[in-house]
Amino acid sequence: DIQMTQFPPTLSASVGDRVTITCRASQNTNDWLAWYQQKPGKAPKLLIYKASSLDRGVPSRFSGGVSGTEFTLTIRSLQPDDSATYFCQHYDNYAWTFGQGTKVDIK
Amino acid sequence: EVHAVESGGVLVQPGGSLRLSCSKSGFSFSDSSMNWVRQTPGKGLEWLAHISSSSSAIYYADSVKGRFIISRDNAKISLYLQMDSLRDEDTALYYCARGRDQAFDNWGQGTLVTVSS
């Protein structure tokens, strides 16, 4: 089974900063990788699917990428509303696996 | 056996059974695959079960295989999760979500299931 390791677990950044969150696969894999944003008391919200496709209505400051076994979520210019926990999620061989989450705080 | 629509909270004893229901609107339910996902503070998000639009393909996470059964009724626009032999570690917030491009959107608001004596 492919394991996904997400890091960092927490990060604190200022409004306007560029922020990157990474999910590393334990081996070479496909690009069925999604990113979610979750705010307290709410269900996760899909941001990115298939590694780099922005879901409808998601601000363009969010982007997804992949290099080798590392998938990244980048927030180009952090906004106060981006304070949340972010999760990656991977699909392979009829199993869907989530990363451990990254809590993003605004300084 | 206890029944719960995807809202509110439910308390069940260890070894007991529970049936969750989820009714989603805003998209073509009968054309969509659906999933159950749960969340705990300790283990984070965990996918549990997937059912295709016609119920022809069903998959489970190893952690619930043999104990949980996913099903759907397209005429009633409803998704179900039958949960048997419940354990303390099944205590979690349970979500239904639509499957799209091997990701999940249109999440429900969640049902808190507490397994405790």
CA distances from B81 to A1, A3, B43, B84 (A): 25, 26, 20, 10
- Between CA A88 and CA A38 the distance in angstroms is 11
What is the predicted pLDDT for the residue at B41? Answer: 84
Pairing of the two strands A53-54 and A62-67: unpaired
Q: Could you read off the pLDDT tens digit of each residue along chain B, which spans 117 residues?
A: 544 456 557 999 999 999 999 988 888 999 999 999 999 988 899 999 999 999 999 999 999 999 999 999 999 999 999 999 999 999 999 999 999 999 999 999 899 999 999
**A97 in contact with B at a CB cutoff of 8 Å?**
yes
Kindly report the nearest CA distance between residue B47 and chain A, in angstroms: 6
Query: Could you tell me the pLDDT band of residue A1, with boundaries at 50, 70 and 90?
Result: confident
What is the predicted pLDDT for the residue at B9? Answer: 76
H or E segment to which residue B38 belongs: strand B33-40
Q: Do B45 and A87 touch (CB under 8 A)?
A: yes
Partners of residue A36 in chain B, C-beta under 8 Å? 104
Say what percent of chain A tops pLDDT 70.
100
Residue in A38, A88, A91, A96 to test binding to B, most B beta-carbons within 10 Å: A96
What is the predicted pLDDT for the residue at B73? Answer: 95
Closest in A55, A96, A99 to B105, CB measured? A55
- Between CA A64 and CA A56 the distance in angstroms is 14
Q: What is the mean pLDDT of residues A14-26?
A: 97
Angle A17-A20-A23 from CA coordinates, rounded to 5°: 165
What is the predicted pLDDT for the residue at B27? Answer: 87
**B105 in contact with A at a CB cutoff of 8 Å?**
yes
Q: pLDDT tens-digit profile of A55-98? A: 999 999 999 999 999 999 999 999 999 999 999 999 999 999 99
**B95 in contact with A at a CB cutoff of 8 Å?**
yes
State whether residue B74 is helix, strand or coil: helix
What is the predicted pLDDT for the residue at A50? Answer: 98
Kindly report the nearest CA distance between residue B95 and chain A, in angstroms: 8
**A46 in contact with B at a CB cutoff of 8 Å?**
yes
What is the predicted pLDDT for the residue at B49? Answer: 98
Peptide bond preceding A8 in cis form (omega within 30 of 0): yes
Partners of residue A91 in chain B, C-beta under 8 Å? 102-103
Closest in B61, B103, B107 to A89, CB measured? B103
A88 and A71 Cβ atoms separated by less than 8 Å: yes
What is the predicted pLDDT for the residue at A67? Answer: 95
**A91 in contact with B at a CB cutoff of 8 Å?**
yes
